[in-house]
Amino acid sequence: MINWLLYNDLSQWFFSTPFGNWWLTGGIFMIPLAMCSIWGLALIIVKYVQITASSVKTKKLLTQINQMMKNKDIQGAINLCENTKGPIAAIILAGLSRVKEGADRVMKAIENTGTIELAFLERGLVAMATNVSIAPMFGFLGTVSGMINAFAVIEKLGEVTPQAVAAGIKEALITTECGLCIAIPVQVFHNYFIGKIDALILSMEESSQNIVEAVVALQHETPAKTFAGK
């Protein structure tokens, strides 16, 4: 009972505020719009943390890998990738593990593992795109609902007055505004994350090329010297 009273008091306080009154005026479709806003915010936070962590780790890892490949320290690069978590480390490790099989096998292993591991980086982007699509749709549904309510009032009164249609038109505009306010920032972050992932892929491809070049150079040396560290 106490919890209900607390909830009731909080509800009364919320709907008495300008934002709460604005939200209440938007009608029933403000509920799915509120869910979309929470969902979109959660997706942005989780993906931002994931991408930021991956970017920092990847830059450091690729710098070390490139230096080791210049020094032809294959075993050191393998150990580094084994002790580093993340999709990029797994991709590079897949290639380094095929060094003895030649450059073609190294590149093939990197491509195959990359297809699987990079799906991890792209996880959540489809959900963000879905959020961008459905939030304005709920807003437009609210627009239709508001206009229907406005015409219902006109039908009931039998005449058109500003006061009669104002509530319905206000509901229509509020839901449209809310839907766009949700979709626009989510779309911006969605594009930002795609750009960051593309940058990671480019860095990985450059590092993969360095690995292949090092393998080709090693193939021209004697087997004993090539894999002395193995």
Mean pLDDT of 2-20: 58
pLDDT at 16: 65
Nearest to 99 by CA among 224, 211, 220: 211
- For residue 2, pLDDT over 60 is answered with no
Mean pLDDT of 170-177: 86
**Residue 106: which region, alpha, beta or left (left: phi > 0; alpha: psi -120 to 50)?**
alpha
Tens digit of each residue's pLDDT (9 = 90 or more) over 27-83: 788 889 999 999 999 999 999 988 887 776 677 777 787 778 777 777 888 888 888
Asked whether the beta carbons of 138 and 182 are under 8 A apart, the reply is no
- Range among 84-88, 95-99, 128-132 with highest mean pLDDT value: 128-132
Distance of CA 83 to the CA centre of its chain: 26
Nearest to 107 by CA among 217, 225, 226, 210: 210
Distance of CA 22 to the CA centre of its chain: 30
**Whole-structure pTM value:** 0.74
Per domain, the residue ranges of the chain are 32-38+75-219
Distance CA 146, CA 167 (A): 8
In this structure, the number of other CB atoms found within 10 A of the CB of residue 172 comes to 24
Mean pLDDT of 210-217: 73
Question: Which one is predicted more confidently, 181 or 163?
Answer: 181
pLDDT at 45: 94
pLDDT at 112: 80
Distance CA 199, CA 125 (A): 16
| One-letter amino acid of 217 | A
Mean pLDDT of 202-219: 73
Asked whether the beta carbons of 29 and 141 are under 8 A apart, the reply is yes
